[in-house]
Structure 1
Amino acid sequence: MNSNTNILWADDEIDILKPQILFLESKNYKVTPVTNGFDALEKVKMEHFDVIFLDEQMPGMSGLETLGAIKEIRPHVPIVLITKSEEENLMDEAIGSKISDYLIKPVNPRQIILTLKRLLDNSRLVTEKSTMDYQKTFNKLAMQIMNADSIESWMEVYQKLVYWELELQNNDDQNIADILIMQKQEANNEFSKFIKKNYTEILDESYSESGPMMSHNLFKRLILPNINDDKSVFFILIDNLRLDQWKLIARYLRDHIKLKEEGLFTSILPTTTQYSRNAIFSGYMPSDIAKHFPDKWINEDEEGSKNKFEEDLLREFLNRSLSKPIKWSYHKVFNFDFSKHVNSKLHQLLNNKLNVIVYNFVDMLSHARTEVDIIKELANDEAAYRKVTESWFEHSPLYDLIKNLKDKKAKIIFATDHGTIRVQSPIKVVGDRSTTSNLRYKHGRSLQFNPKEVLDTSNPETFKLPSPNINSKYIFARSNDYMIYPNNYNHYVSYYKDTFQHGGISLEEMIIPFAIYNC
């Protein structure tokens, strides 16, 4: 708030408002008074104003008419309607005309100041408050990171980190941004140590009813209990979706469907579609898929899509898990046109007890950011990456589907298969031709690496992973590391730095969201 703040005030009784205008001028606001809508319109054409006060009942051109005319010229200027009436239809019309606020006469100076602060200083005040709040909680969060000793406590830590990441994303204070980045890095370092020490135990616990919800028991724990005679269940799996991205998407759902439950679960390792999503649809860990359905598990060194049998695996799971058959459908969406096609079948889908729809856009975006220059520009950091995801959802047929499901006899369950992390720190590994190309995990026979830099297992069965040959070994990158071969090392370090990758151990990749909504 300073002397540069320029206010236009239009009221046919402007002389009566002289005390309010003098009060504003004493606070270093510049006020330009006019007595009608026509003069207000001329002033707006000639001069810039930071905020405009309009009386609702002016002769000649009413406040609402003036509002509409001003919006055509200056669509973004905040406009406050001042009225004697609180009639509902008037308020509806005013709000529909995109007023920024309204005040009821007689207007007192304190109301005016509060309105100006909210309209002109809101962003700065919110930023300052968020910064102070984060500074106050920094030490407490640091202690939580150091003391986290269960997957549940790590979920709580990650939720708080994502909360502050979203709260501070528009903050211009680079020092605060850097502190949060460092704290998140420290959390990932400690989380990686936790997973290295406890992953096999977490897997073992997941087979008990009270154990953690993970990829292979997600359907049993989350989907099956919601299948009943009353409603059709739509299970929407958005591939490669992080918690921070989900938080932005969830904002769009509030006006259309009702949140029943939301939470987090844990992706298995490797945090890739081949492993985690096949586990979701089969209800088995990868080694068990390879054992029970060898024709439906495609090994890393074999040709073909590694997830082409998802529908078959789901059919097998439903057949062995349900006491009686149900009508269900499965669709995998790769493009806009097919997504529209799925929407066109909504009436038919509502007759099914279960509809599974997989959306691959976010995963495609993640990979495209590495390979396509224009995507690198659009998603050049974490906030931009979230924004591109948000923009996709807002204009997607998926959002249309959700709006069309409003008030239908249906439930919608959202989940993902894994997340992704922006990689920063290269580590050197050596492999042979059969070694996988993924930067966050490697599977092969002749792997050379520094064991202090990775989580490794020479006995894949302990991680419930397939072992195509006797010398099979898996290694997993931790935190924001990425694995680079020695050949052309510097070139590939530069090429892949700051890209979004998945397959390894990090909060972003392993701690992932789910939500249940009633329509």
Structure 2
Amino acid sequence: MSTIKILWVDDEIDLLKPHILFLEKKNYEVTTCQSGTEAIDLVEEQNFDVVFLDENMPGLTGLETLSEIKAKRDTLPVIMITKSEEEYIMEEAIGSKIADYLIKPVNPNQILLSLKKNLDTSRLVSEKTTLNYQQEFRKIAMDMAQVNTYEEWAELYQKLIYWELELENIEDQSMHEILESQKTEANSQFFKFIERNYEDWFSDEDRPTMSHTLFKDKILPQIKKDDAPVLLIVIDNLRYDQWKSFEPIISNYYKKESESAYYSILPTATQYARNAIFSGLMPSEMEKQHPDLWLNDTDDGGKNLNEDKFLAAQLKRLGLTDLVWEYHKITNLKSGKKLVENFNSLKKNDLTVLVYNFVDMLSHSKTEMEVIKELASNDKSYRSLTESWFKNSPLLEMIQKSQQLGFKIVLTTDHGTINVKNPSKVIGDKNTSLNLRYKTGRSLTYEQKDVLEAKDPKSIHLPTINMSSSFIFAKGDLFFAYPNNYNHYVSYFRNTYQHGGVSLEEVIIPFIVLNPR
């Protein structure tokens, strides 16, 4: 490990000789000077790891020197040493981003502790995190071999997300590679689990909450629980890790009552999963009961234009005709800002439904726009982009207003997305659906090992567009590619975020209940 270089600035530096010798014995390299002007020159000329800065010096004061140092090297940690505990000095120093402050007289151990705290923390945290994951890795591998229920799969996926976020800022690339291989293996095992169990869930009482039962199982109890108005926020395409990335921002306004996972239906695509949430029905039942509202893949027109009508029908079926509710869909910044302006009027509702489409637009933009491809090249940057959007979005303003008005928030999504990496060849006729992660149509030709196939769509409650139609769903991080213009197609879509298939990221999704602080 390279020697840590310290600059110590004090007009009485000779009196500090014992402290400097103490640090040098601990293998720190200490450069000294006696004025702010000298310090600024040295900071320009050399690369220091940390500065100890006396606050009370003739000429340039410590605060003035601090300001100059920060103007030149904003990220250089400065530890202020002061005789005074006067509040205004502390406030100014902290406002100028000091790393720490010590009150004179200082002893060598205080100095050492401050150095450890400010320079070694990230290294120590990294080492501890890496060690903890190495220990946990074996347990996760053992769990993966034994996991066999939908609850255990949700738990395992949440554990993988936890470690992904813990390792996010660790520089040890080998740890990231180990975790990625573990996620790949988990997705392979999860695919087999879905293949074995998915069809049975429609006739089995021991089943997870799924898109079509979400409202009845999880949302309705929150509406009935107390008199607080409920704001149901459905953010399209929201993965579990993206929720965790902006959870700390929400926690400034709301405390979490509960966090759980539920399972998206197949295909993990908006027109199927989100319509199922609002209708409380599977797609084949929607087609049968609401032929005027349901559109199949091959039909022209927007496939999610009737969510409010589906919800009205479900509420009627559940005997909630007296419920006062409104539905809003936000698809652009303008409509988001408009709802913020009129937000107070929602207080009269028992239930306000808010569908927010940003993350869906982000994933599609990543496919189509080079700049977004650059900004969201992997899961870490995709999370970061989502967090940045959320911080600056009308949605955060709505959450702040919700807190002031006393709304309970139920936050969820319709499905997640996965970064697709490997193509799988498929052939179909001109009426085959266009989605990259699932296909429906006649006479589909495909690699059987790469897909979950439903030759009889009715068996998993999907519409049969015509007599010989079937569905196939892509496994893991695969995406479907046609043989025509294959190389161009593959290079265009590889490493983009897609949904519709079978993966932990698409299927296991968050359901959060929040109460105002």
Between the aligned residues of both structures, percent identity stands at: 53
Contact 1:476 1:503 in 2 (8 A): yes
**Of 292, 304, 307, the match for 2:304:** 307
**Of 374, 377, 392, the match for 1:377:** 374
Cross-structure match for 2:166 = 167
- The offset of 1:123, in angstroms, is 2.9
| Cα distance change, pair 411–85 in 1 and its aligned pair in 2 (3 A) | farther
Q: Which moved more, 1:268-277 or 1:8-17?
A: 8-17
Q: Which moved more, 1:239-248 or 1:372-381?
A: 372-381
CA distance in 2, matches of 1:74, 1:434: 60
Contact 2:243 2:510 in 1 (8 A): yes
Cross-structure match for 1:183 = 182
**1:228-307 paired onto structure 2 within 5 Å:** 230-307=227-304
**1:89-104 paired onto structure 2 within 5 Å:** 91-104=90-103
| Cα distance change, pair 59–479 in 1 and its aligned pair in 2 (3 A) | same
Matched, 1:400 2:418: no
CA distance in 2, matches of 1:319, 1:101: 61
Gapped regions of structure 2 (runs ≥ 5): none
- The offset of 1:487, in angstroms, is 2.2
| Cα distance change, pair 42–481 in 1 and its aligned pair in 2 (3 A) | closer
- The offset of 1:72, in angstroms, is 3.3
Which deviations, in whole Å up to 9, do the C-alpha atoms of 1:410-464 show, x marking residues without a partner? Answer: 1122111101111222222221111111121111122122433311112212211
> Secondary structure, in 3 states, of the residue corresponding to 1:80?
strand
CA distance in 2, matches of 1:336, 1:252: 20
**Of 411, 421, 444, the match for 2:418:** 421
> Secondary structure, in 3 states, of the residue corresponding to 1:122?
helix
- The offset of 1:109, in angstroms, is 2.2
CA distance in 2, matches of 1:404, 1:96: 29
Cross-structure match for 1:216 = 212
CA distance in 2, matches of 1:174, 1:39: 40
Query: 2:17 is matched by which residue type in structure 1?
Result: K
Q: What is the Cα-based RMSD across aligned positions, in Å?
A: 2.3
Cross-structure match for 2:140 = 141
Which deviations, in whole Å up to 9, do the C-alpha atoms of 1:23-55 show, x marking residues without a partner? Answer: 122233333334455554555455543212233
| Cα distance change, pair 86–154 in 1 and its aligned pair in 2 (3 A) | farther
**1:322-471 paired onto structure 2 within 5 Å:** 322-471=319-468
CA distance in 2, matches of 1:434, 1:291: 22
Contact 2:425 2:482 in 1 (8 A): yes
Query: 2:475 is matched by which residue type in structure 1?
Result: R
Q: Which moved more, 1:193-202 or 1:370-379?
A: 370-379
Contact 1:272 1:418 in 2 (8 A): yes
> Secondary structure, in 3 states, of the residue corresponding to 1:295?
coil
Contact 1:476 1:504 in 2 (8 A): yes
CA distance in 2, matches of 1:479, 1:315: 36
CA distance in 2, matches of 1:481, 1:256: 39
Query: 2:7 is matched by which residue type in structure 1?
Result: L
Q: Which moved more, 1:321-330 or 1:477-486?
A: 321-330
Contact 2:229 2:347 in 1 (8 A): yes
CA distance in 2, matches of 1:221, 1:484: 38
| Cα distance change, pair 90–353 in 1 and its aligned pair in 2 (3 A) | farther
- The offset of 1:292, in angstroms, is 1.2
Which deviations, in whole Å up to 9, do the C-alpha atoms of 1:46-103 show, x marking residues without a partner? Answer: 5543212233455666544543443334322212233456677765554333221223
Cross-structure match for 1:26 = 25
| Cα distance change, pair 154–34 in 1 and its aligned pair in 2 (3 A) | same
Contact 1:230 1:409 in 2 (8 A): no
Contact 1:2 1:28 in 2 (8 A): no
Contact 2:264 2:508 in 1 (8 A): yes
- The offset of 1:104, in angstroms, is 3.8
- The offset of 1:192, in angstroms, is 0.2
CA distance in 2, matches of 1:254, 1:24: 41
| Cα distance change, pair 54–350 in 1 and its aligned pair in 2 (3 A) | farther
Cross-structure match for 1:204 = 203
> Secondary structure, in 3 states, of the residue corresponding to 2:237?
coil
Contact 1:319 1:325 in 2 (8 A): no
Q: Which moved more, 1:101-110 or 1:127-136?
A: 101-110
Contact 2:315 2:321 in 1 (8 A): no
**1:39-188 paired onto structure 2 within 5 Å:** 40-41=39-40, 43-44=42-43, 47-58=46-57, 63-83=62-82, 91-188=90-187
- The offset of 1:508, in angstroms, is 0.5
CA distance in 2, matches of 1:514, 1:79: 43
Contact 1:430 1:449 in 2 (8 A): yes
CA distance in 2, matches of 1:84, 1:329: 61
Cross-structure match for 2:496 = 499
CA distance in 2, matches of 1:361, 1:251: 19
- The offset of 1:165, in angstroms, is 1.6
Contact 1:200 1:463 in 2 (8 A): yes
| Cα distance change, pair 57–405 in 1 and its aligned pair in 2 (3 A) | farther
Q: Which moved more, 1:275-284 or 1:441-450?
A: 441-450
- The offset of 1:401, in angstroms, is 2.2
> Secondary structure, in 3 states, of the residue corresponding to 1:294?
coil
Gapped regions of structure 1 (runs ≥ 5): none
Contact 2:417 2:497 in 1 (8 A): yes
